Amino acid sequence: MSHIRAVIFDLDGTLIDSVPDIAAALNRCLANEGRATLSEEGVAKLVGGGARELVVKALGSATPSTDVDRVLTDFLAFYEADPVSLTRLYADARELLGTLRDTRVPLAICTNKPQLLTHLILDRLDLASYFAVVWGGEPGKPLKPDAACLRSVCEQLGVSPAETLMVGDSHTDIDAARATGCPSIVVAHGYEQRPLDTLGADAVVPGLAEAGLEIARLMGDDRMGDRTSKLRRPA
């Protein structure tokens, strides 16, 4: 494996726990449609394929596309109006991003969340400055696991896929990495429903502190390893 020179992060379920805000917006839509609302645990099972797939799964695959379009428009409006009130960063997220930035590792976001929402959330959580490239969903753009997503991000970073690490929480992230030729790490604190050891990631880690140690190892950077080791919390 080549030494890692850049890192791409997924957003939801990897750096942030956004399900409470997603659930709040989605449940407003479901209530407006006269449908039963979902628990946050139920919504977490729907996250990962982008906003439209989320709405389709919530409404049911037999729902007419015109109804899906209407509910999707409402969902995005509700979510954009209040995107981070209940969202939190996972432990060590900001510290890890800061360590990587301080060691001059180019960073990117690749998410299936709509591009506008992605920028809005990064700005509201004061995360935008960490990332040189942000890839989000837009009409006509591919979504993960399509290899075109990570390939484009790598090109924008100026680093080959083999030298770019993907850090995510789901099979969608790992499938995209494998299709592109990027090594990958999956964190266990996210929303994936499948057994993590079946996804094909190069490493499975409990959280972002451990991800930092693995990144340092793959970079062959002892200085970064010393810094990321301080992220670990006592048991």
Active site residue 222: no
d(CA 114, CA 121): 11
Residue tagged active-site, from 10, 17, 92, 173: 10
Catalytic residues: 10
